[in-house]
Amino acid sequence: MWGRHALLTTAPSVLWRGMGRKASAPPPSKPPPPTPSPLSLDRSGTATLITIAAKPAAKKSAITEFSPEGVGVALAAPPVEGAANTELVRLLAEVLGVRRGALNLRSGARGRRKVVAVVGLDPGRTEELLRAAL
């Protein structure tokens, strides 16, 4: 009788509180997503890939912007017979302090969106040099 009497005098919310449920730990925090960058390493890890947004036929050649979509480059050469691509390689070699042979146009030879590979520079140092040229 004692057990039944105790149940009747205790409030139901007290009886059911915590019964059948385990205390849940807070969900594990996810690392923040990486910030998008126009720079990446190639598959072999030996070259830095730079996404370029080329603007040919400008008054002078210069790095104009550094954004997640690409590095903006104004080129003082017309987009005819590879003249703009040659000027792009010349400008990047000058800005990055590498030989022209260390640069390789991987894609976009006939378009404004290009990908250039730079051998011998890591993405961090490449970003520093490109931002300094702005």
pLDDT in tens, 78-91: 999 999 999 999 99
Q: How many domains does the chain have?
A: 1
Q: Model pTM?
A: 0.74
Q: Is residue 75 part of a domain?
A: yes
Nearest CA among 84, 75, 76, 71 for reference residue 110: 84
Structural domain of 115: 39-132
In a domain, 25, yes or no: no
Say which CATH number the domain at 61 has.
3.30.1200.10
The verdict on residue 15 lying in a domain is no
pLDDT in tens, the chain (134 residues): 555 555 555 555 555 555 555 656 677 777 776 778 899 999 998 999 999 999 999 999 999 999 999 999 999 999 999 999 999 999 999 999 999 999 999 999 999 999 999 999 999 999 999 999 99
Say if strands 70-74 and 47-55 run parallel, antiparallel, or are unpaired.
Answer: parallel
Q: Tokens at residue 111, please? A: 């378009």
